[in-house]
Amino acid sequence: MKKLMTSVALLLASTALAHAEGVLNLYNWGNYTSPEMLDKFEKETGIKVTVTDFSSNDEALAKVEAGGSGFDMVVPSANFVGIYVEKGLLQELDHSRLKNIGNIAPEWANPEWDPNRAHTIPWQWGVTGTVVNTAVYNGDINTSAIFLDPPEELKGKLNVVPEMNDVISMALKYVGSDQCTEDTEALKKVRDLLVAAKPSWVSMEYSTIDKMVKNEWAATSDWNGSAMRQRLQNPDIRFGFPKEGFPIFMDSVGILKDAPNADNAYLFVDFIMQPENAAMLSNFARYANGIAGSDAFMDADMKTAPELIIPEDVKDKGYFLKVCPPKAQEYYTAIWTELNK
């Protein structure tokens, strides 16, 4: 009987393992993962990917840090990768298991926030700016004044995506300062500017596409890929690159330290570094990616989209968000708390 029970236990264990080998759990930004790409991965590997959405870097970090999430992979932005690494939340990648690692474009192969791509590989990248329905407002859209000092036509019709670091860094640039400053005079200007602007905002929401397309809002702060998706459904919509300065982001995927399906995660990470698969991500979410050769598989409209081509006169105005020192972060949080009262 003891031998029989042992055999049953081994059978159950092997059955559980076989089931685990067929699944994978991705924790990612909402509306950011190509269903076509997921279908292709499942057909090629037999592995079923479940995607759970998050709305912000802070939300994702808190969930992962709490432990026991069951997620295998997460997609943080550049300024959060170092935080995940410092907290021991990401595995160090074994590049020998990633035959497509050489497909990462040279400019993204050794970024400051993840030297030599030790912990993450590229997902997609883009910029934060302004999105305006030009049927409502036909003035200058290449300025953060759209949401920081809104023109009359946009007051009460304006959304701001509630990404603290984006909003405060853009406001600091607008007042002539820089991100992560501890200059209390500049920070006071930013606080006063945001508090004065907020009554002109109708909302602070992440889900922008549907409401912009349906003309429920006339403008929003937003990301360029989202803006392209809006324009394709409503030709009056335009994306602005603020001349005062605008954040550049890259979101990258890493395997979590406690990933229950790490072997499957390696297969997935390697899969999305194939150019045709990276292009599926871009064709869906409408952002550029960091994989060389993917352009050949891009939809034709991706290659000429004005949202994806940074104008020459503002190319030097883009900047990557930094992880601010504790004091600066304390000021940011205080401003954000007051703004959200």
pLDDT in tens, 133-161: 999 999 999 999 999 999 999 999 999 99
Instruction: Give backbone dihedrals phi and psi of 287, rounded to 5 degrees, phi first.
Output: -115, 160
Strands (E), 12-119: 23-29, 48-54, 73-74
Q: Rounded CA gap, 151 and 153, in Å?
A: 6
The answer to whether the Cα torsion of 289, 295, 298, 299 is positive or negative is positive
Instruction: Tell me the pLDDT of the chain (341 aa) as tens digits.
Output: 334 333 444 433 333 333 346 999 999 999 999 999 999 999 999 999 999 999 999 999 999 999 999 999 999 999 999 999 999 999 999 999 999 999 999 999 999 999 999 999 999 999 999 999 999 999 999 999 999 999 999 999 999 999 999 999 999 999 999 999 999 999 999 999 999 999 999 999 999 999 999 999 999 999 999 999 999 999 999 999 999 999 999 999 999 999 999 999 999 999 999 999 999 999 999 999 999 999 999 999 999 999 999 999 999 999 999 889 999 999 999 999 999 99
Token couple for 259: 């990933």
Token couple for 108: 């993204």
Token couple for 182: 């501890």
Q: Quick one: pLDDT at residue 323?
A: 87
Q: Rounded CA gap, 142 and 160, in Å?
A: 16
User: Torsion over CA of 178, 112, 335 and 67, rounded to 10 degrees?
Assistant: 180
Strands 246-255 and 73-74: antiparallel
Strands (E), 134-228: 158-159, 201-203, 219-223
Burial track 281-299 (b if 16+ CB lie within 10 A, e otherwise): bbbbbbbbbbbbebeebbe
Burial track 2-25 (b if 16+ CB lie within 10 A, e otherwise): eeeeeeeeeeeeeeeeeeeeeebb
Other Cβ atoms within 10 Å of 304 Cβ, number = 8
User: Torsion over CA of 39, 44, 48 and 49, rounded to 10 degrees?
Assistant: -60
Half-sphere exposure of 144 (CA within 13 A, CB side): 24
Strands (E), the chain: 23-29, 48-54, 73-74, 120-133, 158-159, 201-203, 219-223, 237-240, 246-255, 318-320
- DSSP lists the bridge partners of residue 223 as 128
Q: Domains of the chain by range and CATH?
A: 21-124+249-302 (3.40.190.10), 126-248+313-339 (3.40.190.10)
